[in-house]
Amino acid sequence: MSEELEYLKVLLYASQVEAQKLRKQKEEKDALLKTFQVKLEVEALGNLPAQRNLSEDISKREIQSLKKQVTVLKEEIGLEGSKLAIANAVQEQLKTDLADEKEKCRFTREVTKLYQMNIQLDQPSRDQVADYLQFEIRTVKEVLRQKEEELEKLMAENKYNYFENCAEKCRIQEETSAARREADLLRDEMKTLVKNMNAKSEELLGQLRDSTEKCEEMEIDCNIQLLELQKRHELLNYYASLG
């Protein structure tokens, strides 16, 4: 029985270690997402295709992380099912043992009752048999009491482990949901950032087009003024040659 309890404790410890591993993976993921966000903001105006690729890469990482977390939760549920099956099997065995001990106790009571009614059996001595039966009754009662205490202890431990594991699973599920909500929020923020950067890029392109048009107009004006200066210079040379 102690081996079964130790096995349940080992499974519970493994579940706690796995939960700690999930929390560490979440922290690493958060740090990676923050790094990607800073890099995206720095390179925003110069590399829009890279931004889109980065957003897709982060989304894929989030999906893979969530799939891993779902797989871990499924494995934990499977482990809990196995532990529950083991506990149920142990409990059924204890119930069977208790039933056997109760049957033995009932049989000894019947035999003692027969002797008290002065029914002679093929035994050497009535007093010896009565003493032996009383000793057996005390032994069976003691074993029965120990079995009942062991069963109550096991049921209490199983109940405690069940509620503790349920609380741990609920906490992990809440953390997973929070991570999923945070990932969705970050993804929306990235979409908004890309949208704003696209708008800013369009604005800059518009300003560049306006500047280009102004430069072209200024170039045309300069060419016209240059032609006028050339004509004046030619006229001056002509009048100078006449004089």
- For the stretch 182-241, pLDDT in tens is 878 878 887 887 788 778 778 877 777 877 777 677 778 777 877 877 777 777 777 667
Residue 96 falls within a domain, yes or no?
Answer: yes
- The count of structural domains within the chain is 1
Residue 29 falls within a domain, yes or no?
Answer: yes
Q: How confident is the model at residue 59, as a pLDDT?
A: 62
Range of the domain at 192: 2-211
pLDDT tier for residue 34 given thresholds of 50, 70 and 90: low
CA angle at 126 for the pair 123 and 132, rounded to the nearest 5° = 85
Residue from 55, 31, 59 nearest 44 by CA: 55
Encode pLDDT of 59-117 as tens digits.
Answer: 666 667 666 766 766 666 666 656 666 666 666 766 676 677 667 667 666 666 665 55
Residue 93 falls within a domain, yes or no?
Answer: yes
Residue 186 falls within a domain, yes or no?
Answer: yes
Residue 64 falls within a domain, yes or no?
Answer: yes
Q: How confident is the model at residue 164, as a pLDDT?
A: 72
Check if the beta carbon of residue 29 is closer than 8 Å to that of residue 179.
yes
Number of C-beta neighbours around residue 231 at 10 A = 10
Residue from 177, 173, 163 nearest 80 by CA: 163
Residue 227 falls within a domain, yes or no?
Answer: no
Residue 102 falls within a domain, yes or no?
Answer: yes
Residue 77 falls within a domain, yes or no?
Answer: yes
Q: How confident is the model at residue 156, as a pLDDT?
A: 78
Tell whether the model's pLDDT for residue 181 goes beyond 80. Answer: yes
Q: How confident is the model at residue 119, as a pLDDT?
A: 47
Task: Look up residue 122 and give its DSSP letter.
Answer: S
CA distance 87 to 93: 10
The size of the chain, in residues, is 243
